[in-house]
Homo-oligomer: A and B are copies of this chain.
């Protein structure tokens, strides 16, 4: 299991990122993922920056849709940590049980058809090329 850097043991640089995570997410809680990444501050900094902008930056997709997409990827990759944390985040942003069920239905169907398209060696239709 991962070593984790707690706030009180963290460097100035890491504390500043923890503070930004707290302010952005409006919670005191720093989850294990960030405490583990803090072992390598440049990776912590860049990853937080990337995730922060992709998930909370200005854009046309609403926050819940963004979390649903995140969960879809994490389920497809089989990342337990990411599924648990982003399912929680999606629920906090309004995902109902029915929406979760529908999300899983689409993720399951897409993973199935992805393999059928590969296995049947289907060529891309001309109308789908642009």
Seen from chain A, the residues whose Cβ lies within 8 Å of a Cβ on chain B are: 1-3, 29, 31-33, 36-37, 39-40, 42-43, 46-47, 49-51, 53-55, 57, 59-61, 65-66, 68-88, 96-125, 127-130
Contact = CB atoms under 8 A, between A and B. Distances in A.
A40 B97 contact: yes
A109 B72 contact: no
Contacts of A130: 1, 3, 88
A104 B118 CA distance: 10
Contacts of A109: 50-51, 54-55, 70, 112
Most buried by B among A86, A97, A108: A108
Contact of A60 (B59, B73, B79, B99): B99
Nearest to A65: B65
A107 B60 CA distance: 15
A116 B43 contact: yes
Contacts of A50: 46, 50, 109, 112
Contact of A122 (B33, B54, B76, B77): B33
A42 B103 CA distance: 12
A107 B113 contact: no
Contact of A106 (B55, B97, B106): B55
